[in-house]
Amino acid sequence: MAFFKRLWPSSLAGQMVIVVLITLLSAQAISLWILSSAHRNVIYDASELQLIQRTITLTRLLDETPDIYHSRMVEAASTAPATFWLARNSHIPEEAESRLDQRFIAKLSRELGEPYRGRVRAWLSRYGKPHCMHPSHRRKSEEWAKSSSRTCRNPSHRRFDSHSGKPAVPFVNFSIQLNDGQWLNLSARTPSIPPLVARQTGLFLLLSGLMLMLVIILMVRRITRPLGELTQSANRLGLGETVPSIKERGPKDIRQTIQAFNRMHDRLQRFVADRTRMLAALSHDLRTPITTLRLRIELLEDSPEKERLLATLEEMQAMTEATLSFAREAAKQEDTRRVDINALTASICDDLEELGMPVTFHEGPDAVLPCRPVSLTRAIRNLIENAVKYGEMAEVVLNRDSQGIHLTFSDKGPGIPEAMMDKVFEPFYRLESSRNRDTGGIGLGLAITRTIIHNHGGTILLKNLNPGLQVTVILPGE
């Protein structure tokens, strides 16, 4: 079963072609079996009719001509696969062995006429298993012994069919008593049946099968091509790319699916755009009351309370500016390009190292990724700056495996409590013990970073070291 599963194609086109091909071959095999049976019956019927006509003609001629010509006439009539001979006795039992034999005797008697009624015997073997004759009727003339196709005692005398290679058993046996008392005996072997599938038939089946497969492949491609476009657009949309509407084509069911995808895509775009505009408008409108409060606080006398109020307003203004910056970044429609992640990460690390930050980068294997380089640069830079700010240094390592491209950022800081690892990705969430307001953070860096990574189809994981924190970014590789 596992072997057949490995051979079974995974694509829709391959499965449809295999299923139709198996169905076609099965239908052709059944048709050939039915036609072969009908073909064999037609040959048998035609052979029986020809033997009857020849026997009737020979019987009447023998009764109408002198005895001196009988041997020559019987010899001339004996042509393969039928053998005639004259004998004093019939080579067939007196009583017919089956109803079929009796019906055949009645038919032959009607054809010969009333004078021959009761003088006809027959034994048929085509409809059942050939059987040996009764011992009391086993004596045959010398001609029958020489020409018989099958005898009960000596199987080596059997003749064989030229096409099937199987023993040619007696097919029809007649005995008709002539007017002079002699018996005209007939034994005919099974007729040679030519093969039903000739070269022309095989060529026709091959050509018809190829034409049918060509039509099926074209139809399957007509179905799978829009499905492939739908799959690519869905993957790009999941990675946060700007995706144009898909052209509606193909069968009705496929067109309806594409229409539903286009409607969903439009609704998502409107939803994201409306949310971004609302966030930007709210942050922009907060600037006016913050400025007004600052002016009023500046008019107060100097005091510790005044300093605390100004610090709070500065924090509110920083959060507002960060929110506006985040909204502007989200509203940007950056194009996707193929980027070498090794080169991109090395460039970021070199820039930060020139600014005096302790950053080390370990280059990995070739890693090319379709991405939005500006936003991905921001995410990588945020992670490196966080590692330097809270962990004294940053070590960046690039690797890749079957899951994708791995970027690992390690530092020597105090790490993050396990219970807080999910919360640090929430907007404006800060750890008071290590990342308080004095450090200048407002709690949007990791939230923005995770959003960018998710928009590229990746994941971000946190793990405490001893000491330090390790951040792993997994991006889908090609």
For the stretch 303-322, pLDDT in tens is: 888 888 888 888 777 777 77
- Choose the weakest-confidence range: 66-75, 104-113, 356-365: 104-113
- Cβ pair 257, 234 in contact under 8 A: no
pLDDT for 159: 37
Residue partners of 58: CB distance under 8 A and separation at least 6: 73, 74, 77, 84, 184
pLDDT for 163: 40
- Cβ pair 376, 448 in contact under 8 A: no
User: 401 or 285, which is more confident?
Assistant: 401
- Cβ pair 373, 337 in contact under 8 A: yes
User: 175 or 139, which is more confident?
Assistant: 175
pLDDT for 201: 72
The yes-or-no verdict on residue 133 having pLDDT over 60 is no
Tokens standing for 408? Answer: 């690992």
Q: 0.75 exceeded by the pTM?
A: no
User: What's the 3-state SS for the chain?
Assistant: CHHHHHHCCCCHHHHHHHHHHHHHHHHHHHHHHHHHHHHHHHHHHHHHHHHHHHHHHHHHHHHHCCHHHHHHHHHHHCCCCEEEEEECCCCCCCCCCCHHHHHHHHHHHHHHCHHHCCCEEEEECCCCCCCCCCHHHCCCCHHHHHHCCCCCCCHHHCCECCCCCCECCEEEEEEEECCCCCEEEEEEECCCCCCCCCHHHHHHHHHHHHHHHHHHHHHHHHHHHHHHHHHHHHHHHHCCCCCCCCCCCCCHHHHHHHHHHHHHHHHHHHHHHHHHHHHHHHHHHHHHHHHHHHHHHHCCCCCHHHHHHHHHHHHHHHHHHHHHHHHHHHHCCCCCEEEEHHHHHHHHHHHHHHCCCCEEEECCCCCEEEECHHHHHHHHHHHHHHHHHHHCCEEEEEEEECCEEEEEEECCCCCCCHHHCCHHHCCCCCCCCCCCHHHCCCCCHHHHHHHHHHHCCCEEEEEECCCCEEEEEEECCC
Q: Summarize the confidence of residues 193-220 as an average pLDDT.
A: 77
User: 347 or 165, which is more confident?
Assistant: 347
* Strands, sheet with 170-177, edge to edge from the N-terminal-most edge strand: 82-87, 183-189, 170-177, 120-124
The yes-or-no verdict on residue 58 having pLDDT over 80 is yes
d(CA 407, CA 367): 11
- Choose among 371, 271, 374, 369: nearest CA to 332: 374
d(CA 143, CA 70): 14
Reported confidence tier of residue 95, pLDDT bands at 50, 70, 90: low
The conformation of residue 335, written as its DSSP 8-state character, comes to P
pLDDT for 371: 86
Compute CA 63 distance to the chain's CA centroid, rounded to the nearest angstrom.
Answer: 74
- Let me know how long the chain is: 478
- Cβ pair 345, 409 in contact under 8 A: no
How do residues 421-467 score in pLDDT, each as one tens digit?
Answer: 888 887 777 665 444 445 546 667 888 888 888 888 889 999 998 88
Tokens standing for 221? Answer: 């491609």
Tokens standing for 442? Answer: 């407002």
Reported confidence tier of residue 141, pLDDT bands at 50, 70, 90: very low
How do residues 9-42 score in pLDDT, each as one tens digit?
Answer: 777 777 777 888 788 788 878 888 888 888 888 8
381 torsion bin: left (phi>0), alpha (psi -120 to 50), beta (else): alpha
Q: Summarize the confidence of residues 211-227 as an average pLDDT.
A: 82
- Cβ pair 176, 195 in contact under 8 A: no
Mean residue pLDDT across the chain: 78
pLDDT for 409: 95
pLDDT for 326: 66
pLDDT for 157: 32
Q: Summarize the confidence of residues 103-119 as an average pLDDT.
A: 85
